[in-house]
Amino acid sequence: MGVPVVALPVPIPPEEEAASAQSFTKPDGWDGHVVIAEAVVLPMGEAVVGGEAVASGVDPAGDVSEAIAVPESAPPPPPGTLQALRHLFDTNVDDRRMVRGLVQDPGQQPLWQPLLSALTVEQYAECVGRTGLEYDRPEVASLLGEQLASGLTSAHVAAALRTTTAYKTQLVRRVARQVVDLAAGRRTIEAELSEWERMLARTDLDAASK
């Protein structure tokens, strides 16, 4: 039986390996065309030393937290203001629950009642439109409408309808019995609905008008 032959790698001296690599990587005439680039002068204030940016007047060995001022986030607006209400709508995930807390929680209701009872038509509609889930807007419209000292008017409802594209019929059906001037302002509300939406809301509007 024959003995198997195993090919073993033969080490190449480093100087021969380097010479071999240079012979493949250098183009013809490389040694005769040496280009010396001009020196680049960089102001010390913009230099990067040791991998760290060094700004003028800042000790690179100093504490970074002392050298760089981090702006503090602005505090939230005081509760009971329109700015604070907008902030709540923008930062809460469940706007329906948030509004319910403002009008029903004994700890919050006294703070917010003065504002919520005096919302203008535009402010009322803005709050409905800021409600993140359109599915929640009918209930939010109803909750806020109950707080208005002068009552929920057809102008309030029409303005709220203009802020939403879905669940318009549900919104009208939810607040129909709260509208204080429905007999006179029904057409104002219906003008914001499609023909199909008016047909769906007709029964509730008829019942609320009696």
User: Cα separations (Å) of 32 from 18, 24, 29, 38?
Assistant: 20, 17, 5, 19
> Angle, nearest 10°, between helix axes 182-190 and 154-161?
10
Tokens of 111: 């703070």
Element (H, E) at 114: helix 109-116
Q: What is the mean pLDDT of residues 92-100?
A: 97
Q: Output the pLDDT for position 129.
A: 98
CA distance 47 to 44: 5
Element (H, E) at 200: helix 195-209
Q: What is the mean pLDDT of residues 161-177?
A: 97
Structural contact between residues 147 and 120, judged by C-beta atoms closer than 8 angstroms: no
Q: Output the pLDDT for position 73.
A: 75
Q: Output the pLDDT for position 20.
A: 54
Residue pLDDT, tens place only, 35-56:
566 666 556 555 555 555 444 4
Q: At residue 151, what is the residue type?
A: G
- 105: how many CB neighbours lie within 10 A of its CB? 12
24 pLDDT above the threshold of 90:
no
Quickly count helices (H) and strands (E) in the chain: 11, 2
Q: What is the mean pLDDT of residues 167-181?
A: 98
Q: Output the pLDDT for position 54.
A: 46
Mapped onto helix, strand or coil, the DSSP state of residue 179 is: strand
CA distance 102 to 85: 10
Element (H, E) at 49: strand 48-49
210 pLDDT above the threshold of 90:
no
pLDDT confidence tier of residue 75, bands split at 50, 70 and 90: confident
128 pLDDT above the threshold of 80:
yes
For the chain, give every domain's residue range.
82-209
Q: What is the mean pLDDT of residues 128-139?
A: 97
